[in-house]
């Protein structure tokens, strides 16, 4: 059994959300140790963006395999070397895959280390560069013009196959249409402001989730969660009291107006509209429901998990949580 995969180190169990017994996955010569930065699901198959091993994993039933991202060349610490190579999936190289979403007939991956979006075509077994120049920059454009990102991280698929991109280094939310045209939706200059798309300012946004016509954004550098809806950016929860609080970060439960986070990096929204947040800087998972924020997972006492949660995914009553430092992928039953 892969000891570091699913339901390991759960002494600090999800308060009110007990852990599920997870399927045993086969040994692959060593423990997988998935640094699950991004998680997506197609039918019953999970796809995991592994930021440490620089690859995309496929978990199907009791089988786990490295779908793409070569891990043959290692550094002195045993971590795969960074690279940038399109082509056959078994030979493709990534810099730092961050998020993964189902897209067209395959998967779209944000390769933050190479400042590009990559497309994994599951039908022809190839990896392509979908958008981005491979160098950090800030440029909108079409497939026939130079497009540039600066450390793209979170991805979310909206209506009409629109892809929303957290362009972290540019403090912006970008959008790509199904023709490959990329434009800036909001932001582009670091700050802390709500309002219209033109007025809004972010600081290093990362995690994204699109649900029920709303784009939820982990405004990481401002330690808050915001939502983009009907041309407006509004506060969901987190720092709104002062710039000092926005800069400092904290862990504070209570009303959404007073609650505080520290560098949140992941978001998932349940069917009933409850928002779950990977509060990365606090080593916690938080829940936003009925106008209040609570902590549902945090290490207690001698517990060592979680440390750095980031990847979140909800499938019905199951919440998946990826910890990129502990390299653990755990699952919890939200319906218990």
Q: Quick one: pLDDT band at residue 240, thresholds 50, 70, 90?
A: low
Provide the pLDDT for residue 304: 79
Nearest to 122 by CA among 56, 178, 34: 56
pLDDT at 81 over 60: yes
Provide the pLDDT for residue 5: 38
CA 82/CA 76 separation, integer angstroms: 13
Three-state secondary structure call for residue 272: coil
Provide the pLDDT for residue 6: 40
Nearest to 322 by CA among 52, 27, 24, 1: 52
The model's pLDDT over 184-222, given as tens digits with 9 standing for 90+, comes to: 999 999 999 999 999 999 999 999 999 999 999 999 999
Cβ atoms < 10 Å from Cβ of 95: 19
Contact at 8 Å (CB) between 107 and 101?
yes
Reported as half-sphere exposure (CB side, CA atoms, 13 A), residue 225 has a value of 32
Nearest to 127 by CA among 84, 170, 82, 188: 84
Cα of first residue to Cα of last residue in the chain, in angstroms, is: 25
Provide the pLDDT for residue 10: 32
The fraction of the chain above a pLDDT of 70, given in percent, is 87
Provide the pLDDT for residue 144: 61
CA 37/CA 70 separation, integer angstroms: 18
CA 52/CA 57 separation, integer angstroms: 12
- pLDDT average, residue stretch 264-278: 97
Taking CA atoms, 12 is separated from 39, 164, 278, 283, 298, in Å, by 22, 34, 15, 11, 6
CA 112/CA 101 separation, integer angstroms: 15
Provide the pLDDT for residue 1: 35
What pTM was estimated for this model as a whole? 0.90
CA 143/CA 76 separation, integer angstroms: 38
Average pLDDT, the chain: 87
Q: Which of 59-68, 229-238, 246-255 has the lowest mean pLDDT?
A: 246-255
pLDDT at 314 over 80: yes
Three-state secondary structure call for residue 21: coil
What's 93's DSSP letter?
B
Provide the pLDDT for residue 243: 57
The model's pLDDT over 122-175, given as tens digits with 9 standing for 90+, comes to: 999 999 999 999 999 999 998 767 899 999 999 999 999 999 999 999 999 999
- pLDDT average, residue stretch 98-116: 97
Bridge partner residues of 268 (DSSP): 276
Three-state secondary structure call for residue 192: coil
pLDDT at 29 over 50: no
Contact at 8 Å (CB) between 278 and 267?
yes
Nearest to 333 by CA among 6, 11, 63, 2: 6
- pLDDT average, residue stretch 310-334: 93
Tokens of 154: 């979170």
Provide the pLDDT for residue 89: 96
Contact at 8 Å (CB) between 186 and 200?
yes
Provide the pLDDT for residue 26: 30
Higher pLDDT, 25 or 229: 229
Three-state secondary structure call for residue 109: strand
**What phi, psi does 156 have (nearest 5°)?**
-150, 140
Using the structure block, give the residue that is written with the tokens 């490295």: 66
Torsion of CA 285, 289, 291, 293, to 10 degrees: -20
Nearest to 101 by CA among 82, 118, 80: 118
CA 143/CA 303 separation, integer angstroms: 49
Provide the pLDDT for residue 247: 66
Provide the pLDDT for residue 148: 96
pLDDT at 12 over 80: no
The model's pLDDT over 315-325, given as tens digits with 9 standing for 90+, comes to: 999 999 999 99
pLDDT at 287 over 60: yes
């Amino acid at each position: 059994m892969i000891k570091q995969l699913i339901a390991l180190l759960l002494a600090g169990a999800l308060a009110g959300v007990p852990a599920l017994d997870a399927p045993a996955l086969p040994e692959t010569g060593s423990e997988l140790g998935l640094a699950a930065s991004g998680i997506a699901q197609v039918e019953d198959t999970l796809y995991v963006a592994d930021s440490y091993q620089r690859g995309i994993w496929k978990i199907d039933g009791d089988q786990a395999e490295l779908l793409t991202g070569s891990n043959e060349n290692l550094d002195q610490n045993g971590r795969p070397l960074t690279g940038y190579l399109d082509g056959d999936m078994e030979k493709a190289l990534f810099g730092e895959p961050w998020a993964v979403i189902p897209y067209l007939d395959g998967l779209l991956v944000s390769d933050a280390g190479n400042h590009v979006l990559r497309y994994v075509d599951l039908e022809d077994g190839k990896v392509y560069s979908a958008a981005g120049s491979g160098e950090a920059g800030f440029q909108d454009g079409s497939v026939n013009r130079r497009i540039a990102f600066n450390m793209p991280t979170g991805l979310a698929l909206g209506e009409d196959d629109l892809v929303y991109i957290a362009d972290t280094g540019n403090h912006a939310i970008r959008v790509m249409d199904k023709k490959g045209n990329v434009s800036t939706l909001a932001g582009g200059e670091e700050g802390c402001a709500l309002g219209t798309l033109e007025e809004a300012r972010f600081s290093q946004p990362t995690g994204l989730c699109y649900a029920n016509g709303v784009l939820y954004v982990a405004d990481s550098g401002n330690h808050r969660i915001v939502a983009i809806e009907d041309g407006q950016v509004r506060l969901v929860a987190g720092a709104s009291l002062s710039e000092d609080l926005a800069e400092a970060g904290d862990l504070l439960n209570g009303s959404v107006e007073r609650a505080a986070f520290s560098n949140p990096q992941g978001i998932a929204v349940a069917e009933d509209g409850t928002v779950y947040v990977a509060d990365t800087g606090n080593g916690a998972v938080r829940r936003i429901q009925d106008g209040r924020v609570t902590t549902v997972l945090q290490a207690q006492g001698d517990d060592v998990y979680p440390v750095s949660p980031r990847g979140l995914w909800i499938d019905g009553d199951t919440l998946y949580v990826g910890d990129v430092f502990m390299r653990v992928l755990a699952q919890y039953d939200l319906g218990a």
